[in-house]
Every structure is written in C-alpha cells, then in structure tokens.
Structure 1
Amino acid sequence: MSPTPEERRAARHQLAAGPSTPAGRRGPSRGHKKPITVDAIIETAFGIVEREGYEALTMRRVATVLETGSSSLYAHVVNKEDLDELLIGRLCAEITLPEPDPARWRQQLTGVCAQLRDQYLRYPGISRAAFAAAPSNLDTLRVSEGMLAILLAGGVPPPAAAWAIDSLTLYVNAYSLEVSLAAKRQSRPEDGWVVSREELLTRFAALPDTFPQTKRYAAELTAGTIHDRFDFTLGLMLDGLPIS
C-alpha cells in the first residue's frame, strides 16, 4: 500500500528529502502528461508566485497549471500549509551557513538574514507562508540551527539566543512582505498614493507647524535605501542582546 500524504510529510521531517514517488494523474490529462511529483508541485508553485504573487497560490491553481485534478496533488502534499512549508524549506536550502566565528558573529548573522531576505524577495509575498509556522521542515531547521550556533559562539546566553532567532526571522519575514507589497502597488498605475522620496519631502515641507520635528528632520526621515534600513534594524537587535 502506498504511503498516505501524512506519512510522506512525516518522512520528510525525519530524513533528507529524496526523489518523490510519481503519482498517477486524475483529471483532464488522463495520464498523458508527466507524472506528478513533489518537485513538480514545488516548481509549479514557485512559478505561480513569481508571475502572479503569493496571493494567487492555491492548490487548485497549481493543479490547473499542471493540467491535472487536485486529488493528484494530495497524493503528495497534505494541504496548502504543507505546500507552504515545502516552499519555505526549498528557499532555506539555498542559504549558505558560515562556520561560527566568535569574532565575526554579528556580521555572520546579518549575512544569513540578508540571504533569507533575498530568497523571499525572489517570489513576491512568499514570506507570508513563513508566518506562524513552526520550523519543522529539515531545511528550515538547518537555518535556525546555524543561526543558533552563531549566536552561541558570540557569547549570547541560550535563552536570549533562542528568542533572538524568533525575533530576527519575524523581522526578515515582515520586511520581505512589506517590500513585496510596496513593489506590487508601485506596479499598478491606479495606486498613485505610493510616492517617491522627493514627493515625500515636498509633502513634509508643506505640513503645518504642528509637525515641527517632521518638517525639520524630513531629510533624515526619508534617507537611505530600504536595505540600509534593514541593516540598521538588525544592528539594533543584535546590539541589544546580552553577552555572557
């Protein structure tokens, strides 16, 4: 008897993922197309997110692109949440983890967070899939394991290191989602409220005198690139950690 989707998912959390067993197609293709595999589902899902954004990703949409029925997908993927976990795990698998260096632990951790950010930004809005998800996928756990090792090597006490991972990944997820949302809005002509730095400076200069600090420090409020602000925020978070 073939393993159930739940058994397949449990196996993925215990062993390194290998080639998935093809499932017979059901639906309009009537077996004339390439068999469905976990890899085919993941690649198709990434393509949908890249072209249409994460909001467009549903099990039905994946099945449509693969020219099959949804039941063929459920032979490999338990549900949408399972697919989300697979996608985030695949992105995490691309991250290079350094050998922890006590003298460079801040730079190393910033580098890992920047890699994760860049992976998320490849697929608009996909970091939404990482919110409220426990890191049970082995590829995702590999990243948190690497981050923990770096923090401990830097002398951060285990309780603070554990919570720092949660805080850092939450910020990376939120940052990536905000950047994706802003880019999507800027691409739509009807969203004229998305303004440039120059327009913001003009608007701040025209504010009434009840906003004296905003008018005075308009340049500072609008300075820097989004990645400059990303690095600044990570620095604040890391500098605030206790060192034993």
Structure 2
Amino acid sequence: MTQPDMPTPPWERPPRRRTPARVPLTRERIVDAAYTVLDREGYDRLSMRQVASELGVAVSALYVHVRDKDELLQLMYNRMFEGYELPEPDPERWQEQIRDFARQGRRRLLSHRDAVKISLGRVPFSPELLPHVEKLLAVFAAAGLPREVMAIAGDLLSTYLDGFVLEEVLWQDRYPESGGKAPQEMREEIEGYFASLPADRFPNLVALADRMVDESNDYRFELGLEILLRGLASYIAEPGPGEES
C-alpha cells in the first residue's frame, strides 16, 4: 500500500482523460454541414439552427463566419461551380463545349436534393464566379455571336437549366418509384385522352398523343439544348465572298 506521504507510482495512477481536439469552425465546414442538412431535410427546412445542430455548435458560432442565411445560400451556390472549368474557346467546337457545360450543370443541380432551389433567382456575379462567366462569354465570342446575343445567351442557358431541373425534381418527389416519370398507367391515360380529342379541333394534340408524355428526361433535355444551340447558331453571320469562315 502506498504510504500517505509517498507519491503515487505512475502505473497506479488513473489514466488521464484526453479531451478530443476541437476542429476549428470554418466556412467550408459550415457549407459541408449545410449540404448535409439540405440532402436530409430539403430546402424548406434548411435553417441556420439546423446547420448549427449538425455541427454541434451554438447558432451564434455560425455568425462569426457567415453573415446570415442568405450569405450561406450564396456560399452553397458558389460551391456548385467548384471543380469545373470551361476549356479554352474553340470556334470549331463551341456547340459541343456548351453542351458539356450544360450537361455538367444539370448533373451538379441534381447531385444534391433541392440544389436547384438555391440556384433559382441567383446570378453568378460574385467575385468567385465571375471567372466562370468570363470563360462562358469567351466561348460565345469565339463562336462569333453578336454582342447583343452574347449578353443574354448565358442567362438563357441558366434559365433553361434551372427550369428543366426544377421540373425533374418536382416529378421525382411526386413519383420516386418510377424515377421521376409519370407511372405507365397515367401516361397511357393521358395518351388515350389526347388521342380521343376531336381531330378537327385539336389536330396537333391528336397527332402528338404518343409523344407528349412518353419521352425520357435525358431525351427532352438534349433536344431542348439542341434547339437552344441551333437558335444561337442562327445569329452567327455567314462569311461573305472571299472571307475566311
């Protein structure tokens, strides 16, 4: 037995409790947690309080790094563009470059639940995103689009992406068991209804009855993108006699 006036031998001392090192709170960790909440709860339930709870900190700790929820949403929006760079403009391949940009944009918007609801109404004019805007405009400029068309082409593409993906998300929420597509029985009912309309009053609906609701989202997206690109291409001036194309 250890005497009262003797120090306790090291092997008889209780193990010292180690306090786990605290991971510093950063904007990156806050955005990570916000996406975790978004995927689990959806856009309507995303809140600063939910994010703080996910991180195990007081809400007040978030405001040291993020001004408010609107700034958090902007940071989440910025995150969507990380890891993607447009290639150097190639006037011979500008349409394929825009296709790749749009396809990746759609994948980004579908990679997190309700991410498109964050994208809606936001413009990529923050300092972090301006280089992306500049490179996109450079692709349009290399293609030879007029200035007045270039000025709205990026916004037109963004609006198409947001609107298309939002519809995809809404249908996915409504019909998750069929991959976001109306169930076969419903499609057949709609097709039958259109086909039964008076052909003299609704000739186009009757003629398109078998195509109105039966195409896949991928097909619809690619066709819509092709329509946009052909429309943009129609504004490129044809080279005159003796001019290089």
TM-score bracket, normalised by the shorter chain, equals 0.7 to 0.9
Q: With structure 2 as the length reference, what TM-score do the two structures score? A: 0.77
Is the aligned partner of 1:224 residue 2:215? yes
Counterpart secondary structure, 2:113: coil
> One-letter code of the match for 2:108?
Q
Contact 2:137 2:154 in 1 (8 A): yes
Is the aligned partner of 1:49 residue 2:49? no
Query: What's 1:16 paired with?
Result: none
Distance 2:96 2:136 in 1: 12
> 1:237 aligned to 217, 222, 228, which one?
228
Is the aligned partner of 1:203 residue 2:196? no
> One-letter code of the match for 1:237?
L
Q: CA deviation at 1:57?
A: 1.4
The structure, 1 or 2, with the larger RCO (C-alpha pairs under 8 Å, 6+ apart) is 1
Runs (4+) of structure 1 moved beyond 6 Å?
none
Counterpart secondary structure, 1:112: helix
Gap runs ≥5 in structure 1: 1-30
Query: What's 1:118 paired with?
Result: 107
Is the aligned partner of 1:129 residue 2:118? yes
Contact 1:59 1:80 in 2 (8 A): yes
Q: CA deviation at 1:73?
A: 0.8
Contact 1:120 1:127 in 2 (8 A): yes
Query: What's 2:16 paired with?
Result: none
Contact 1:92 1:139 in 2 (8 A): no
> 180-189 or 234-243: which moved more?
180-189
**Matched positions, count:** 210
Q: CA deviation at 1:53?
A: 2.1
Counterpart secondary structure, 1:205: helix
Cα gap change, 1:108/1:198 in structure 2, threshold over 3 Å: closer, same or farther?
farther
Percentage of identical aligned residues: 30
Q: CA deviation at 1:33?
A: 4.5
CA RMSD of aligned residues (A): 2.3
Query: What's 2:155 paired with?
Result: 166
Q: With structure 1 as the length reference, what TM-score do the two structures score? A: 0.77
Alpha-carbon displacement from aligned partner over 1:47-100 (angstroms, at most 9, x marks no partner): 112223222211111011112222111111111121111111111012231111
Counterpart secondary structure, 1:227: helix
> One-letter code of the match for 2:197?
D
Distance 2:221 2:94 in 1: 17
Distance 2:103 2:95 in 1: 12
Cα gap change, 1:116/1:139 in structure 2, threshold over 3 Å: closer, same or farther?
farther
Pair member with larger Rg: 2
